[in-house]
Structure 1
Amino acid sequence: MEEIKRSISEELVESYMNYSMSVIIGRAIPDVRDGLKPVQRRILFSMNELNLKNSGPTKKSARIVGEVMGKYHPHGDMAIYDALVRMAQDFTMRYPLVHGQGNFGSIDRDPPAASRYTEAKLSKIAEEMLEDIEENTVDMVPNFDETLKEPVVLPSKIPQLLLNGASGIAVGMATSIPPHNIGEVADLISKFIDNPEMTDDEVASLLKGPDFPTGGIVMDSEAIRNIYRTGRGSIVIRSRTSIEDHKNRSRIIVTEIPYGVSKASLIEQIAEYAKNSKENIISDIRDESDKEGLRIVIEIARNADANIVLNRLLKHTALETHFAVQMLVIDHGKPKLMNLKQIIKAFIDHRYEVIKRRSEYEFEKFSKRAHIVEGLIKASRAIGTVVDIVKNSRDLESAIDSLTKILEVSREQAEAIMDMKLQRLTTLEHAKLDEEYKNLIESMGRLHALLGSDRMIMEEIKKDMEYIKSKYGDARRSEISQSTENINIEDLIPDDEIVVTITHNGYVSATKLESYKMQSRGGKGNISIRTREDDYVEHTFVTTKLSYTGFITNLGKFYFIKNYNFQENEKGSKGKLILNYFNLSPNEKVKSVISIGHTLDPSKDMWIATKSGKIKRISLSEFSFKSNGVLAIKLEDGDEVVDSALTDTNEKNIIALSTLKGFVNAFKDEDVRKMGRMAMGIRGIRLHEGDEVVSMIVLKADEADKVQLLTITEKGLGKRSPFSDYPIHKRGSQGVRNLRLTAKNGLVVSTAKVVEDDEIIAVTANGKAIRFKVSDLSVTSRNTQGFRCVDLDPEDKVVAFTPLRGIDS
């Protein structure tokens, strides 16, 4: 044996490429002509050889699988049986090619019974694919052991590739072709034959779209047009649903689901989504499917909106899916991505070749028969001579020789004369021979004309299309929607005004604004949220359902939520813990809440203050609405956010930072430039050793003479001073003393902007909440000790306070 030297890399590349092409051509990708993969073609051919016609009895699937595996497909029996099963499933194939008897699986993904228990035969439409296969219409090649012949492709009168689609994964490539309606495809083929110069766009516009066996609604007809033009893309399939009122509740009825979706898995998905939902939206889900068809009933909770629930389910479950289209086929032995026009043309070319070869075969067969009949007619007209020749001949061979010479017939005619029965000598039989000869000549003339005219062959293809449409045409199952809209829950939500209330301990409540009655001056106000003794309302603002609320945490992350996601409560209810809306880390706490509005307004700036004295100004437009939070400031180790606020870029504002040891530094907003999201901020106040920032005050420049700063210490002393007492310094300075610290008053808890009519709630370490009026505290100069405003028990201290303003004051 000659030694071949080559590099291992070259050998591996060549071997892998050979293997890849073997998988692509020999297993996974269908042929563009008959739309079948090799295993499917071999199954149908073997069933035809077993004479398993649709009009006859079925045969055990195991027998069919054994026939296929032993003669044509030397692979595992399960691979063959799986392909057989899929061709029999009416929820997988738009037009099943196999008629199955027994358990062939279900739309719930229940497995089929073993092949020894099921039986099968060809479906009627599959017989159309095998018609004329004995008439030399397709090439036959040796099977794997070269003992038998198998077809390279089936004659296929039907455009199987488009009717049932295809799916398969090969090495480095995949195919996924959706099924279509047989009547629509037949009409398109006929129109293309009449006008073969149609453009890709014109062909694409003539086919409505896919028609899936499980029905459903196919969205965006323009996307479908684009797929037909290019051969690839994505189709959105939506379940067919309706909403019914039942016993004072709503329920969603699902009657059709997307192609390829398991009904049982879909029900599990919906149940799991309802279980994990932060709101009670679904009370029950049932499968009421029967012989009449599919029916899933989703009972909606009493306070939930069925339209919103449906849209959420469409978005988060397989009630709506995407079908990726990749029209990859085998064309002349090579994989090729084709568009709709190319697939149609390839099928027409295939049928042209089949009809031409069938006509040639029939012409030759009729020609031979006409030659024989011509000899029989000669013999019947000279029957006496024939009898004498036969009677006087020594043997058969001499009789044939005499006939050829005396009657001037060919050897084939002479042999046919010798085989002729005596009954053919009657006058009636002689007339029959004349009639047969006449018919043969007419058929030969028709076939000769057909073979000489491409137009006539094309008309034959059109007749085939009319035939299959009339015999197998049915109503479309999938609806084609013109809509291009994605699921948008917000389209169903009115942008009503609501009151959002957030407590110190993190409970959030959303209440309709109309729940609050208009009151005259001096009224006691409305309770917007019911709190525990150790809790109090820290933030209350009027907004709308479709607006955003922002939450800034001590770790510098900015969380966003659309307000309609807040559980809507009756006025006075407790609300829901904020941790139900965000996945905060164990050491992460919300430090500030901001009402943002409908958009991230670029004219709004967010200010962030950190414990170490850093200040940061950032435009709201730097952020994006992400549910898992956005980093608003990069923090050094040990630092954390203490406060934040929103300002208008076009207004002049004053920023003041208050510290633990009683200092305040006020400066103009123009001293701080805008920064990017990843910036760490700049120094806002120079801190003394051991000091830290506890709060940030933001006020408009024109209100500096109208407000006061309220400072409360941990030991319950409070001091109210006019803001005008605080000189404006440069950013980064030490500021001025805000309060004289002594052992009596302790460290500063916080400083806030207040006006005369505000009320204050202060919370202590032991969980007590004390409420008092700002007016109860006298206005004093900046550098004073203050007065007692909170009576504390021994060992207790103030930990936080907030002014009460707005709707709940």
Structure 2
Amino acid sequence: MAKKVNQEELEQIQENISVEPLEEVMGDRYATYAKYVIQDRAIPDVRDGMKPVQRRIIFSMYKSGNTFNKPTKKCAHTVGAVMGTYHPHGDSSIYEALARMSQDWKVRYPLVDFQGNNGSIDGDSPAAYRYTESRLSELSNELVRDIEKNTVDMQLNFDDTELEPTVLPARFPNLLVNGTEGIAVALATEIPPHNLKEVIEAIIYRIGHKTATTQDLRQFVLGPDFPGGGFIYQSGGLDAIYETGRGRIEVASKAEFVTNKDNQQIIITELPYKAVKINTVYEIDKIRHSKAIDGIIEVRDESDYKGIRIVVDVKKEAKIDLIWNYLLNKTSLQTSYSANMVAIVNGRPRTLSLLEFVDAYIAHQVDIVTRKSRFDLNKFENRLHIVDGLILASLNINEVVEIIRKSKDKADSKVNLMNRYDFSNEQAEAIVTMPLYKLSHTDEEILLKEKKQLEDDIAELKEILADPNKLNRVLVKDLKAIADKYGDERRTQIIEKGETKPIDKRELIAREDVMIAVTHDGYIKRSSIKSYKSSESLPGVKDSDALLHIGMANTIDYLVCFTNKGNYIVVPVHKLTENRWKDEGTHINDFTTLGQGEKLIKAFVIKELRNDLYFAVLSKLGQIKRFPVSDIDVSKKSRPQRAMRILNSDLVVGVELLSGNSNLLVITNNGFASYYNENELSVVSAKAGGVKAMGNMLGGQATALLAFEESERGKVALFTDKGHVRVFDAYKLPLTNRLGRANIVCQSFKNDVHKVVSAVKIGRADLLRVNLHLNNLSSMIYEMDDFRITEAQNAKKNISTPAKTLILRALPFEELITIDKNTISHPIVLKEPRIKKPVEEGQIAEEKVKPEGEEKEQIEQMSIFDDLD
């Protein structure tokens, strides 16, 4: 039952309530909290390089005898002792700090020997502390050496029951050697590890050269020396770190290249500091799986207790050095390390230079050696005083024995001896408690030798305390002994970074000629030339779909597809999954996402993004624009990019490639056409809108866009929705300005209205094959071999379509070939095509032109940007 509070007690409680503004309370309390976190949790002391939890762990293990020369103890015992006696915080933070001091991939010189699972470079956590055991490493003995000689100040623990050191003697420069990291309130620290020998050499140099600068110390401290090795690139960041305490450096993995019979291998043996190995392997494998670059066959983690070994299998023909540079730039095989060398100095956090770190450590060691010398001097002087008494007693052994025999007790013996020989109380105590055999002649000689040694030691200690140079020599001797015993060779090499240049992914792709097929519904297929040759049919297409493009490309090319919603999509050819020629292929949604009702209307293969070539885009409502090919953004492949800004009710109906002086033919569905030079259109950006494509469409809508070179003499076939075809010479149309008078190219009558649905260029072939899309969602192939010119009003009923069906569009089985800026259409050859040999860099392909009357040459399959200069 709850205790009742009477009114008097309630009034007393109410009287003690303090009303203060919340903002003032929060400010005061937060300042206290911040000070505590900075000084007692996250930031190390500049003298011993220890955070409080680390210092308490080391001291507790030392005090309990859990040292390097003793068996290990359960970590649960250590954690419990630290938490119960010195560190009133959670056991997990104590165990984490204990385990970290044993992890040789994080700590350059481990301070704890661990038995059991102490985590891994893969980011695994240590086993529970009930399973693991630990003890101080041999090097840790140097942290606490001479602590019992009053070398450091002691303070009461959190419950005032035990004493703990405010700082450790730290006979080696732990802060610079092992580094640290920590996040406090409003500040953080990140101090890199260094080589023990280098740091000690710098300290010794500074002791002997009082005017030394940071740059002078840099001849010894070359840079950080990370536990995992690797490379540091020489840069101004190193100078900044040691001059100002802040700087940034690049750290890279170490690897070797091996060439085998069937492949090449990149064998990675060292990783950057703090890199998680399993994540690095995943990053490399993700690049391989995503086909971001070509050439990586497999990545394996073959690491074991001997060390790191990550093997990347690379294709025999791949450029292994380029692949390695790409991996360095795109994975944690190369990282940036930002140093922020903050430490507690005289109770305050400070950002320190290398010189200031060294000076702070030297000052600490001078204090340690001074206090140790005073302690030893006092001890030796006390012992000498005792030895003098023992020697005097041994010289008068018979009388001393007689005095003791005649005395009543021990106290009386002491008084009698003090009266007879003027012994001090300490001397008399030593005599009466010593066994008589110790006062023999032999022991007298031992005492005389001890006296001589004590006198020498006392003289030396007094000299050390009186002469700073002597003290410095002692300090240097001690540091050299530590360097000789525990020092090792540098692991991290500092190298000059080679000339950096942007990585062209296409250099990392194995070059191969392939066949590409694109459909209206968005299916894309890549097939080998062998599969293409062995097939005697068109590529596999759904009944409701139709082919847009068939042509050859190289794996280093880009496939650019335009949609009816005014967008374009970039697909690297090497990322296309290889299929058989008869297969359906991969839908473009595997690379991006098409909008509702969005369809592909044109596809191009691009070799290079040239600024002297252009795309013309035409919309159904009569808007047209021209933008440079160089505006195509091949870096953004995850979503469609804007090619033309159009209204929601509008659709793009045509896209053409222009040479810079092409003539454009704009055709409407009511049979009108406008013919003008592309320079009638201003060059705008890819995301801009268009301008009017022709002066007056007379109530019609734009339905087709064709481009012609000045010297081109090709014909055009117009297809109507009711299956009529009209052939005419485009070059005979008068060139006008963009808004000039339109020409009638296909005339229909009120009693028989036809709508033009498509316009197709007729090349130098004897046969034109056209894929017709019908309004019943089916398609059919129409073969046209009659190319005689007809009048505008005399379109022929060439195509027999199923009853009550209309043609929606006509697409030719052609590819667009550009040679020396001459754009020519040629039919696709389905059997035994001649494959164009790759053109060497700097070489220009020439087109052979045969005299009239000779047999027509077989047409090569070429990309639209082959051999353009």
Question: TM-score higher than 0.5 here?
Answer: yes
1:639 equivalent in alignment to 2:653:
no
Q: Residue 801 of structure 1 aligns with which residue? A: 811
Alignment of 1:299-698 (within 5 A): 318=332, 322-381=336-395, 407=421, 412-413=426-427, 415-417=429-431, 419=433, 421-478=435-492, 480=494, 482-483=496-497, 488=503, 490=505, 493=508, 498=513, 501-505=516-520, 506=522, 530=539, 532=541, 538-539=548-549, 548-561=558-571, 564-566=574-576, 577-598=587-608, 600-619=609-628, 624=633, 625-628=635-638, 630-647=641-658, 651-685=660-694, 688=697, 691-698=700-707
Q: Residue 763 of structure 1 aligns with which residue? A: 771
1:716 equivalent in alignment to 2:723:
yes
1:170 equivalent in alignment to 2:223:
no
Query: Which of the residues 72, 76, 82 maps onto 2:86?
Result: 72
Task: Give the match's secondary structure for 1:808.
Answer: coil
Aligned residues, how many? 793
Contact 1:761 1:804 in 2 (8 A): no
Structure 1 residue 144: deviation in Å?
0.7
Contact 1:550 1:558 in 2 (8 A): yes
Cα offsets for 1:196-220 (capped at 9, x unmatched): 655445545644544444x363352
CA 1:266–1:689 in 2, change beyond 3 Å: closer, same or farther?
same
Task: Give the match's secondary structure for 1:691.
Answer: coil
Structure 1 residue 84: deviation in Å?
1.9
C-alpha distance in 1 between matches for 2:418 and 2:323: 91
Task: Give the match's secondary structure for 1:694.
Answer: strand
Contact 2:318 2:510 in 1 (8 A): no
Structure 1 residue 7: deviation in Å?
2.7
CA 1:754–1:205 in 2, change beyond 3 Å: closer, same or farther?
farther
Report the residue type matching 1:627 in the other structure. K
CA 1:59–1:756 in 2, change beyond 3 Å: closer, same or farther?
closer
Cα offsets for 1:534-576 (capped at 9, x unmatched): 6877556777665655443333344445555456789999875
Cα offsets for 1:455-503 (capped at 9, x unmatched): 4444444434432333223455555554455994748537968567443
Contact 1:155 1:351 in 2 (8 A): yes
Q: Residue 225 of structure 1 aligns with which residue? A: 238
C-alpha distance in 1 between matches for 2:528 and 2:239: 46
Report the residue type matching 1:613 in the other structure. G
C-alpha distance in 2 between matches for 1:325 and 1:569: 51
Q: Residue 854 of structure 2 aligns with which residue? A: none
C-alpha distance in 2 between matches for 1:487 and 1:401: 94
C-alpha distance in 2 between matches for 1:798 and 1:278: 39
Report the residue type matching 2:756 in the other structure. V
CA 1:397–1:346 in 2, change beyond 3 Å: closer, same or farther?
same
Contact 2:547 2:811 in 1 (8 A): no
Contact 1:328 1:337 in 2 (8 A): yes
C-alpha distance in 2 between matches for 1:525 and 1:785: 42
Report the residue type matching 2:616 in the other structure. W
Structure 1 residue 160: deviation in Å?
2.4
C-alpha distance in 1 between matches for 2:239 and 2:561: 43
Contact 1:697 1:753 in 2 (8 A): yes
Task: Give the match's secondary structure for 1:685.
Answer: coil
Task: Give the match's secondary structure for 2:667.
Answer: strand
Give the stretch that moved more between structures: 614-623 or 140-149.
Answer: 614-623
C-alpha distance in 1 between matches for 2:465 and 2:38: 35
Report the residue type matching 2:79 in the other structure. V
Report the residue type matching 1:357 in the other structure. R
Contact 1:526 1:808 in 2 (8 A): no
C-alpha distance in 1 between matches for 2:662 and 2:507: 39
1:750 equivalent in alignment to 2:751:
no
Report the residue type matching 1:675 in the other structure. V
Query: Which of the residues 779, 782, 787 maps onto 2:789?
Result: 779
CA 1:365–1:634 in 2, change beyond 3 Å: closer, same or farther?
farther
Report the residue type matching 2:642 in the other structure. L
Structure 1 residue 69: deviation in Å?
0.9
Contact 1:671 1:731 in 2 (8 A): yes
Contact 2:523 2:587 in 1 (8 A): yes
Task: Give the match's secondary structure for 1:124.
Answer: coil
Structure 1 residue 594: deviation in Å?
4.5
Report the residue type matching 2:648 in the other structure. D
Task: Give the match's secondary structure for 2:139.
Answer: helix
Q: Percent identity?
A: 32
CA 1:212–1:423 in 2, change beyond 3 Å: closer, same or farther?
same
1:89 equivalent in alignment to 2:89:
no
Which segments of 5 or more consecutive residues in structure 2 lack a partner in the other structure? 1-14, 818-859, 863-869
Contact 2:671 2:755 in 1 (8 A): yes
CA 1:540–1:176 in 2, change beyond 3 Å: closer, same or farther?
farther
Task: Give the match's secondary structure for 2:450.
Answer: helix
C-alpha distance in 1 between matches for 2:574 and 2:325: 14
Alignment of 1:130-149 (within 5 A): 130-149=144-163
CA 1:48–1:644 in 2, change beyond 3 Å: closer, same or farther?
same
Structure 1 residue 115: deviation in Å?
2.5
Give the stretch that moved more between structures: 446-455 or 411-420.
Answer: 411-420
